[in-house]
Amino acid sequence: MAEPLFRVSGLKVALPDMTRKPVIGRAPLVHILKGLDFELPRHQVTGIVGESGSGKSTLGRALVRLIEPSAGSVIFEGRDITHLAEADLKPLRCNLQMIFQDPMSSLNPRRTIGAIIAAPLKQNGLGDNIAARVAEALRRVGLPENFAKRYRHELSGGQRQRVGIARALALSPDFVLADEIVSGLDVSTQAQILTLLEKLADEMGLTVAFISHDLSVIRRLCKQVIVMRNGEIVEQGPTDALFADPKHAYTRDLIAAIPLPEIDADWLKAG
């Protein structure tokens, strides 16, 4: 079996808590991630699930090195990127892409969609034949080519999210971090986006880390899942096994709390 794309051990992230900073002196640290060990296998979608405060978003950002870990190691494609300087990270960035939760704030309102998708291409020396590449990216996410001339406000929420995906995939990266990308969307739009992501991940052989608070979505999309709570991994493993036989009490609570769209008179009373 091939080497996992990411190998993480003892990952800790602590950031200063500016709300408790005394007038003179350092602010105390908040320990967001408290020592995580896991691997992300290649060409698979791995889910990272947790509620608010679990640290899942911070984990995502640590993986793509938007945050520098305070301890532990992050090994990407066999290379230790934990404390790499920005200059050394730059060539790797085209392989570490991210799709954001809020398409409104992650798309520049004053740029055309075409410019937004072209930006990472130009940044990484793929500026030749840009119009064709942008058209290809739009086609891949099911948007018509003339959308390249439109602006963010002319698109619906689902369409904006597709642009976010197109931008992330423009460079054909090895790895994509999807951070709660369907959380603000209607159920029908959510279904479209997830189906699209599934298809593209398969076609392009992507390794995806899919962060979500919705276990049902994760079950559909992810081959394996990491369950987080309060900065720690509570349980991890193949998704089907986790649902069939959840080992940790928190995982069981999380599953039991999901309201399934079916009648169950006992649901409210139990757990």
Partner 1 sequence: MADARAIGQRGDARLWLAGGWLLVALLAAIFAPLIAPQDPLAQDLMFERLPPFWMQGSQPGYWLGTDSLGRDLLSRLIYGGRVAFIVAFAAALAACLVGSTLGLIAGYFGGWPDRIISRIVDVWMAFPPVLFAILLVAVFGTGLSSVIIAIAVIDWTRFCRVVRAEAMGQARMDYVENARIAGYGRLRIMVSEVLPNVVPTIVALLSLEMGIAIIVEAILSFVNLSISTDDPTWGGIIAEGRLSIHQAWWVLVFPLITLFLTVLSFSQFGEGLKARFDPVLR
Partner 2 sequence: MSACLDISSLSATLASGQRVLRSVSLAVEPGEVRALVGESGAGKSMIGKAVLGVLPPSVKIAEGSIRLEGTDLGTLSAKERRRVIGTKTALIPQDPLTALNPSRRVGPQMTDRLIHILGWDSGKADKSIRQLLDEVQIRDPDRVMRAYPHELSGGMRQRVLIAAAFAAEPRLIVADEPTTALDVTVQKQILRLIAQLQKDHGTAILFVTHDLGVVAKISQKVTVLYAGKVVEEADTAALFASPQHAYTRALMAATPRYTDPMASLKPVDDAVLAGLSAEIAAADQSWRAGHG
Strand residues in 102-197 grouped as ranges (E): 175-179
CB of 12 to partner 2, least distance (A): 24
Stretch that binds partner 1, among 13-21, 46-54, 164-172, 183-191 (CB under 8 A): 13-21
CB of 23 to partner 1, least distance (A): 6
User: Rounded CA gap, 175 and 76, in Å?
Assistant: 10
**243: partner contacted, choices partner 2, partner 1, none (Cβ within 5-8 A by kind):** partner 2
User: Rounded CA gap, 82 and 102, in Å?
Assistant: 27
> Residue 17, interface with partner 1 (CB under 8 A)?
yes
CB of 72 to partner 1, least distance (A): 25
- CB closer to partner 1 out of 16 and 127: 16
- Looking at residue 164, its amino acid is G
Stretch that binds partner 1, among 12-20, 58-66, 149-157, 225-233 (CB under 8 A): 12-20
Contact 209, 178 (CB under 8 A): yes
**266: partner contacted, choices partner 2, partner 1, none (Cβ within 5-8 A by kind):** none
User: Rounded CA gap, 177 and 172, in Å?
Assistant: 13
User: Rounded CA gap, 226 and 59, in Å?
Assistant: 11
Sheet of strand 232-238, all strands in order from the earlier edge strand to the far edge: 96-99, 175-179, 207-212, 45-49, 224-229, 232-238
Burial of 15 (0-12, 13-18, 19+ CB in 10 A): middle
Stretch that binds partner 1, among 14-22, 130-138, 208-216, 257-265 (CB under 8 A): 14-22
- CB closer to partner 1 out of 22 and 125: 22
Give, as ranges, the residues between 20 and 59 that touch partner 1 (CB under 8 A): 21-23
Give me the 79-118 binding string for partner 1, x by CB under 8 A, dash otherwise: ----------------------------------------
Give the SS3 label for residue 82. coil
Find residue 16's DSSP bridge partners. 29
CB of 30 to partner 1, least distance (A): 10
**23: partner contacted, choices partner 1, partner 2, none (Cβ within 5-8 A by kind):** partner 1
Q: Which residues bind partner 2 (CB under 8 A)?
A: 51-52, 186-188, 190-192, 194-195, 213-217, 219-220, 243, 253-264, 267-269, 271
Stretch that binds partner 1, among 16-24, 79-87, 145-153, 179-187 (CB under 8 A): 16-24
Report residue 215 as tokens.
């276990």
Residue 9 DSSP class: E
- CB closer to partner 2 out of 172 and 195: 195
- Looking at residue 167, its amino acid is R
**9: partner contacted, choices partner 2, partner 1, none (Cβ within 5-8 A by kind):** none
Report residue 261 as tokens.
């769209």
Contact 207, 175 (CB under 8 A): yes
CA torsion 215-216-218-220 (nearest 10°) is 160
Q: What is the contact surface with partner 1 in residues (CB under 8 A)?
A: 17-19, 21-23
